[in-house]
């Protein structure tokens, strides 16, 4: 009996932690998208009212601070732009990225830019020291690179004849070859995940983005997500979500991607625009029980669909305009 109580308490703690992760990201997403919405409308004096609300939120990263710095610079609050640039650089934003950002043109003309120039190397060194202190899983990294190299070696977009490079023009052959290799990579990534667990950016560094892209976008159209292998992967992903090592909406995004494969209504609204060869459209997307969409989004840490669209300066899809959200 005592053992059962302990197990129940552990399960409750895990569930509470998972909910905390979702709540923290919901707050981040809600405020960040509000800032982004004002930024996209040129209302920088309104955008700068919100970054302080995210103080202490664990989802604020280097890219977030970089964005805040740009907003402050556009609002001529160069002291706050400098503060946020320092935080951004210490989290991996580089001088190259900063130099290419026209939002910072006003800041570059201010006296505070001299302080940035004087301190950049020291701030960047803090980031390098942090990265060097992390013990990445080199075996996992090499496995992902090996899988990726197998793809590169088999997909030829061009051929060399003498000194001349000729682009392959048989798009049909290229399409089918790419589909076949995409599927092969996906199956290899699934096997790797079952064998070695789900990696995170903390364990494999920049290779995480490539791994995650393969897992999310390379799933074959005929793949059965109810199969035993995928259920194992799903369990592994949910375990990481509960620990907070991946975003609480991570599987929700995969789920919407799977639904897109079969032209089924989206569940979580993580894909809010559909692209094809000629144009893009928000009105071609349908949603499962749309009146409950925002409830599902909040449960996985995402802001309302209205705020999501507003932040991108897009109209709400026709399929949602008459919906009374719960």
- Predicted confidence (pLDDT) per residue in 18-74, tens digit: 559 999 999 999 999 999 999 999 999 999 999 999 999 999 999 999 999 999 999
Mean confidence (pLDDT) of the chain:
87
When pLDDT is averaged across residues 152-177 and rounded to a whole number, the result is: 55
Count up the domains in the chain and report the number.
3
Same domain assignment for residues 107 and 48: yes
Cα(89)–Cα(297) distance, rounded to whole angstroms? 31
**pTM for the whole thing?**
0.85
Same domain assignment for residues 175 and 251: no
Same domain assignment for residues 160 and 238: yes
Strands 158-161 and 164-167: antiparallel
| Residues paired with 266 in a beta bridge | 287
For residue range 209-249, list pLDDT tens digits in order: 999 999 999 999 889 999 999 999 999 999 999 999 999 99
Same domain assignment for residues 126 and 163: no
Residue 18 lies in a domain: no
Same domain assignment for residues 211 and 193: yes
Residue 2 lies in a domain: no
| Residues paired with 161 in a beta bridge | 164
For residue range 158-169, list pLDDT tens digits in order: 444 555 544 455
Single out the residue in 91, 108, 132 at which a domain terminates.
132
Give residue 150's domain range: 135-245
Same domain assignment for residues 125 and 29: yes
Same domain assignment for residues 145 and 240: yes
Residue 203 has pLDDT above 90, yes or no: yes
Residue 3 lies in a domain: no
Reading the block at residue 197, the tokens are 């667990």
Same domain assignment for residues 143 and 203: yes
What spatial distance separates the first Cα and last Cα of the chain, rounded to whole Å?
40
Same domain assignment for residues 229 and 288: no
Same domain assignment for residues 271 and 314: yes
Residue 152 lies in a domain: yes
Strands 164-167 and 274-275: unpaired
Identify the pLDDT of residue 14. Answer: 44
Identify the pLDDT of residue 179. Answer: 78
Residue 10 lies in a domain: no
Pair 282, 271: CB distance under 8 Å: no
Cα(134)–Cα(129) distance, rounded to whole angstroms? 9
Q: How many of the other CB atoms lie within 10 Å of CB of 154?
A: 12
CATH number for the domain including 39?
1.25.40
Identify the pLDDT of residue 197. Answer: 95
Cα(82)–Cα(220) distance, rounded to whole angstroms? 46
Single out the residue in 245, 268, 286 at which a domain terminates.
245
Cα(309)–Cα(272) distance, rounded to whole angstroms? 8
Residue 14 lies in a domain: no
Residue 211's Cβ-count burial label (10 Å; 0-12, 13-18, 19+) is: buried
Same domain assignment for residues 158 and 89: no
Directed axis angle between helix 207-217 and helix 138-154, to 10°? 60
Identify the pLDDT of residue 166. Answer: 45
Residue 16 lies in a domain: no
Residue 11 lies in a domain: no
Identify the pLDDT of residue 172. Answer: 62
Reading the block at residue 232, the tokens are 């194992």
Single out the residue in 105, 132, 159 at which a domain terminates.
132
Residue 105's Cβ-count burial label (10 Å; 0-12, 13-18, 19+) is: exposed
Write the CA distances from 170 to 151, 162, 177, 315, integer angstroms. Answer: 18, 20, 11, 39
Identify the pLDDT of residue 151. Answer: 72
Same domain assignment for residues 316 and 293: yes
């Amino acid at each position: 009996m005592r053992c059962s109580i302990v197990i129940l308490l552990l399960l409750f703690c895990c569930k509470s932690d998972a909910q905390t992760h979702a709540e923290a990201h919901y707050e981040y997403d809600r405020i960040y998208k509000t800032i982004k919405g004002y930024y996209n409308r040129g209302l920088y004096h309104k955008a700068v009212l919100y970054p302080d609300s995210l103080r202490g939120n664990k989802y604020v990263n280097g890219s977030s601070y970089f964005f805040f710095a740009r907003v402050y610079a556009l609002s001529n609050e160069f002291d706050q732009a400098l503060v946020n640039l320092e935080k951004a650089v210490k989290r991996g934003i580089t001088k190259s990225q900063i130099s290419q950002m026209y939002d910072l043109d006003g800041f570059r003309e201010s006296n505070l830019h001299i302080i940035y120039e004087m301190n950049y190397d020291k701030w960047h060194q803090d980031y390098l020291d942090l990265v060097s202190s992390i013990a990445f899983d080199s075996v996992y990294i090499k496995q992902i690179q090996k899988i990726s190299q197998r793809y590169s070696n088999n997909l030829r977009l061009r051929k060399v004849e003498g000194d001349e490079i000729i682009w392959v023009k048989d798009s049909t052959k290229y399409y089918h070859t790419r589909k076949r290799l995409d599927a092969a990579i996906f199956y290899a990534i699934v096997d790797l995940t079952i064998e070695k667990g789900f990696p995170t950016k903390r364990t494999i560094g920049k290779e995480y983005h490539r791994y995650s892209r393969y897992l999310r976008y390379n799933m074959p159209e005929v793949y059965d997500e109810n199969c035993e292998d995928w259920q194992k992967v799903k369990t592994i992903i949910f375990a990481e979500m509960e620990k907070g090592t991946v975003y609480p909406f991570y599987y929700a995004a995969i789920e919407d991607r799977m639904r897109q494969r079969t032209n089924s209504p989206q569940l979580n609204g993580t894909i809010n625009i559909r692209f094809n060869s000629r144009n893009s459209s928000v009105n071609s997307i349908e949603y499962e029980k749309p009146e409950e969409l925002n409830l599902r989004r909040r449960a996985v840490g995402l802001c309302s669909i209205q705020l999501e669209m507003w932040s991108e300066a897009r109209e709400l899809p026709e399929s949602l305009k008459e919906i009374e959200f719960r």
